[in-house]
A = this chain, B = another copy of it.
Amino acid sequence: MAQQSRGVEVDEYGSPRSPLNSCGTTWERRMSAQLVWRDRNEIPQLDPSVGLPHSEAVESTLTDFYQITMCYAYWKAGKENQHAVFDLFFRKCPFHGEFAIIAGVEEAVRFLNTFHFSNDQIEYLKGQLPTAKEGFFDFLKKLDCSKVTVYAIPEGSIVFAKEPLMRIEGPLAVCQLLETPLLNLLNYASLVATNAARHAMASAANPGNRPIQLLEFGTRRAQGPDGAMSASRYSYLGGFHGTSNVRAGHLFGIPVVGTHAHAFVTSFEGLRDLEGEPKPLGTCEDFVQLVLQYRAEFNRKVATKPTMQNEGELAAFISYALSFPKNCLALVDTYDTIHSGVCNFLMVALALHSLGYKARGIRLDSGDLAYLSKEARKLFKATSKAFDVPFDSLAIVASNDINEKVIMALNQEGHELDSFGIGTHLVTCQAQPALGMVYKLAELDSTPRMKLSQDVEKTSIPCRKALYRLYARSGVAVLDMMQHSADPPPKEGDRIFCRHLFDETKRCYVVPSRVEQLLVCIWQEGKSVGHRPSLKECRDHCIQSLKMVRSDHLRTENPTPYKVSASGVFYDFFKDLWQKTSPIFELQ
């Protein structure tokens, strides 16, 4: 059943079938080779000012099959063009916290802009729906987002549970098809941005109030290649300063960082690896000799256990310094962190200093980071004193299994770290690897719709809604309030009655000094609407946005829930509809 494509027999991966892999399978091959090889320039775009999605996997078929079957059933029932309003939201903040950061909005716009079904996708779907009428596929073929309107809270904003983060309006069938890809694009992006923001806040709370550089090191542990790209991008948005991921640096302009690994150190056996031609550096004709002179002096004045110094490691550091004299940061834990690694680094740093170069510092990748950072700092200071050099504030980077809790424990104990390189815990969001965003029908042909649940808090909130953030005179956000989108917006200075939607005992009046409309139109009639902020702008907005709420909403232990409320009118409407819709159980 292998398919023919451009005259070449291909396997199910779209590869030409060679003699080596043609002893093949009997498995039916549905794959068409073009799918993999499609030229991205051929993808139609509604709005030429908007770029393509950054992953080629972001296309109309990155969706659950039930969206297609539902779409067919809508079409068959003549409902495909009913005017639908969907809300995208989550019910519970991640990481046992009381906030999240919304991210993925720019990618969502790129997806809306290119949404369509190609001929080969249509052919595939025909195979999957053999009994569907031909007219349905004609309908699919013409489908795009030119009749869809989308509102979203700006990317990088602080957001809360149960409020609509995105409102999607338009013909029922196409809005339904957008559910899975939009959830995919926003769920992980928002989760990792939130995780990054939490790590940034934890690291900022160090006892010395030192500014801490946060570096994302997760490419190898991320959930697949694009998982790595998203992790780098949205960690930066959430407040990180750099990434090790070169492709993310290249594609998104994030600063890239990195020095060397253990393999570099173990690739040197000893100083004999540096024999041969003398190695000049700057004004020095033989840098190796210069380091060895400093070694002798350092071991007289500072080191306590010179026999523990590994010469392969010293050779590696010398070699690295020859390559990066202005940017020398050494991984010091291959043999013994303090007595070998830090000492070998300091000898090289002294030699560099004598030539006018400033070494950057060290990286710790194992052991007790609080203790080792303090011991290393002591050696830095001792060296400063013994050699009259400015080594007190050389950088100490930590990169072993760091997470939010580890950072807080290090703050508690006190440490001398200047930077954290965070991988696994950041990018896989180990503390909670999924954010449960959902996408619910709120209104159809101007009639409110709700999905009931035996758990009333899981009931979806009906109607086309507007969402406002009300600020106090101090500039701090007091609460978010939703209401019917057609109702007049709350105004500065008005006394506004707000209610908790699921707890009738919670209500308050607010007199806002400022009112912010949170859901902003980003897509209308096939065009991107409004300013599309750059990644850096989203990052700045995120940092700013976190400052607009009280710190007790942000803390790790028992944070205070931020108030997400409804107008009095909306509350009454919601309760009334629930009473009418929910079945009353008949007990026997």
Contacts and interface: CB of A to CB of B under 8 A. Distances in A.
Interface string A269-284: 1000110000000000
A446 interface: no
A7 interface: no
Contacts of A220: 64, 179-180, 183-184, 187, 437
A322 B77 contact: yes
B176 A308 contact: no
Contact of A221 (B261, B436, B583): B436
Contacts of A260: 66, 69-70, 73
29 contacts: A14-B51, A16-B49, A17-B49, A20-B49, A31-B251, A36-B40, A61-B247, A63-B247, A68-B258, A72-B324, A73-B319, A76-B319, A82-B267, A124-B249, A131-B326, A172-B267, A176-B263, A188-B224, A189-B224, A223-B231, A223-B429, A224-B230, A225-B226, A226-B227, A263-B441, A266-B444, A266-B450, A266-B451, A340-B583
Interface in A176-226: 176, 179-181, 183-185, 187-189, 192, 217, 219-226
A411 interface: no
Contact of A27 (B32, B62, B263, B534): B534
A323 B310 CA distance: 74
Given A70-B263, A222-B223, 18 more contacts: A12-B535, A20-B532, A23-B531, A28-B253, A56-B56, A62-B245, A72-B324, A128-B256, A181-B225, A223-B227, A224-B229, A224-B231, A267-B449, A308-B583, A308-B585, A310-B583, A334-B452, A429-B433
A454 B56 contact: no
A586 interface: yes
A224 B221 contact: no
Interface in A232-291: 244-247, 249-253, 256-264, 266-267, 269, 273-274
Contacts of A135: none
Nearest to A51: B15
A397 to B, nearest CB: 12
A146 B117 CA distance: 39
Nearest first, the 3 A-B pairs at minimum CB distance are A226-B226, A66-B258, A65-B258
A161 to B, nearest CB: 17
**Residue with the highest number of chain B CB atoms closer than 10 Å, among A35, A187, A266:** A266
A102 to B, nearest CB: 16
A16 B253 contact: no
Nearest to A315: B77
B72 A335 contact: no
Contacts of A366: 453-454
Interface string A387-402: 0000000000000000
**Residue with the highest number of chain B CB atoms closer than 10 Å, among A261, A437, A452:** A261
Contact of A184 (B183, B222, B261): B222
A80 to B, nearest CB: 11
A74 B226 contact: no
A98 interface: no
B223 A223 contact: yes
A96 interface: no
Contacts of A66: 244, 258-261
A263 B433 contact: no
A431 to B, nearest CB: 9
Contacts of A27: 253, 534, 536-537
B52 A37 contact: yes
**Residue with the highest number of chain B CB atoms closer than 10 Å, among A76, A246, A310, A339:** A246
A320 interface: yes
Interface in A3-55: 11-18, 20-21, 23-25, 27-32, 35-41, 48-55
A95 B24 CA distance: 34
Contacts of A537: 25, 27
A404 interface: no
A223 B69 contact: no
Contact of A76 (B18, B53, B229, B323): B323
A76 B267 contact: no
A65 B227 contact: no
Interface string A516-550: 00000000000010111111110000000000000
A556 interface: no
A440 interface: yes
Interface string A436-466: 1101110010010111111000000000000
B41 A39 contact: yes
A51 B308 CA distance: 50
A31 B257 CA distance: 17
A57 interface: yes
Contacts of A11: 51, 534
A169 interface: no
Nearest to A319: B77
B434 A534 contact: no
A491 interface: no
